[in-house]
Amino acid sequence: MTDQTVDLDKHRGMAAQKATDLRRALAEVENNVRELRQRESDLENRLMTVPATSWPEAAAKARYLLNLYVASLPAEDTRHRALVSALFDDFARLSEES
């Protein structure tokens, strides 16, 4: 036996190496998606359970929810996208005034 590790990637053909790289990249993406979903779930649980203590905090919760809504809209629904954009502008303007 030897204590030296063998780099198996060097012994693969080009097609096998590409397939291995693709599997590794896919596994990394799937892991990132799982982590993102868990972080989104944690955030949403906090948004539901922790009450806002100010209007800016309530606006931040509304902004998150409206971004989810906009992401679900079809691309051709420019009217609702414009309404949400105008509301975000109102949030920004009113936050500066207070």
Per-residue pLDDT of the chain (98 residues; tens, 9 = 90+): 667 776 666 666 788 888 889 999 999 999 999 999 999 999 999 999 999 999 889 999 999 999 999 999 999 999 999 999 999 999 999 888 87
pLDDT recorded at residue 20: 87
pLDDT recorded at residue 96: 85
| Contact between 55 and 93 (Cβ < 8 Å) | no
Question: How far is 47 from 38, CA to CA, in rounded Å?
Answer: 14
pLDDT recorded at residue 16: 83
pTM of the model: 0.69
Question: How far is 97 from 34, CA to CA, in rounded Å?
Answer: 40
pLDDT recorded at residue 8: 65
Determine phi and psi for 71, rounding to 5 degrees.
-65, -25
